[in-house]
Amino acid sequence: MGKRGGILLTAGALALLTACSAPAPVAPPTTTATATSTRPATDRPSSEAPALGPGPGSRPPTTPQPPPPHSPAKVTSACPFLGVTESSAAMGVVLDTYAVEEAPSSQQGATTYHCNYASRTGGRQLFDLYITVVPGTGQVPALVREWTKPCVEPATPIAGVDGTTRTCKLNDNEAGNGRGYGDVMLLVVKKSHGQTRLAELDMRPFAPEVYTKLAGLLSDRL
C-alpha cells in the first residue's frame, strides 16, 4: 500500500514511546510521517511453489518452506504465513499466482516483511501480504487506528477469528498496481512473544466467509 512507509514510521515511533515511558497508555500520534514506498523490486523466488507455475522470466521456486503451524519465536519473512495453494482453497478459485518474498523494511525498531502475490496474466485476486513486527504489546488500539486510515468506510471486525481483526474497502489512492476502488484489506493483530504482530492482506472483494478463512490462517500463525 502506498502509505506503508508512513505507517511503519508511526509503528516504530509507537514502539519507542512504549519502551521509554511508564506503563500508562501512550496517546496515539495525531499526524503521520510522509509516506514513502517500501516495495523494492526483486526477483527472489517464492517460499511456496505456485499453483500454476512461475511467471515468465522468474526463477524456479526454491524448496517450499512449510507454513508456521503455530506462532514462530522469530519472524523472518511473510510468504510462509499464507501460501498460494491454501489461499486458492480458501477462496474457491484457481489462482494464477506465485508468491515472491520482497526485501523487508525497518524503521525505529519496527520491521515489515512483504510477500507479493504476482500473476502471469495480470488478473490478480491477491495483491500483497505485509507482516509487521512491533516491539512491545501496549499499542494495539493505536496501531489498528493507524492501519485502517486508508479505509473508505469504518473497518469492521472479522467474526470467528482470534486476535484483533478488521476488514474494509480501500480508497482508489491506495489502490496501485492495477487495483481499483473498493478493493479490500484484511488486518489481523496479535500479541505474541513480547511483540505486536500485524498481518495485512490486500485482495479483491470476496464473500465474508473467505475473509474469515484467510484471517483465521493468519491469526493461527502470528
Structure confidence by residue, pLDDT tens digits, 191-204:
999 999 999 999 98
In the chain the domains, ranked by start, together with CATH numbers, are: 4-22+33-221 (3.40.1000)
How confident is the model over 70-87, as pLDDT tens digits?
788 999 999 999 988 889
Tens digit of each residue's pLDDT (9 = 90 or more) over 141-193: 999 999 999 898 899 999 899 889 999 998 765 544 444 556 899 999 999 99
pLDDT at 43 over 80: no
Mapping DSSP to helix (H, G, I), strand (E, B) and coil, where does residue 135 land?
Answer: strand
Q: Is the pLDDT of residue 51 over 60?
A: no
Residue 1 scores a pLDDT above 60: no
Q: What are phi and psi of 20, to 5 degrees?
A: -100, -5
Angle formed at CA 2 by CA 104 and CA 161, multiple of 5 degrees:
70
Q: Tell me, what's the pLDDT at 175?
A: 46
Nearest to 128 by CA among 90, 178, 165, 162: 178
pTM > 0.85: yes or no: no
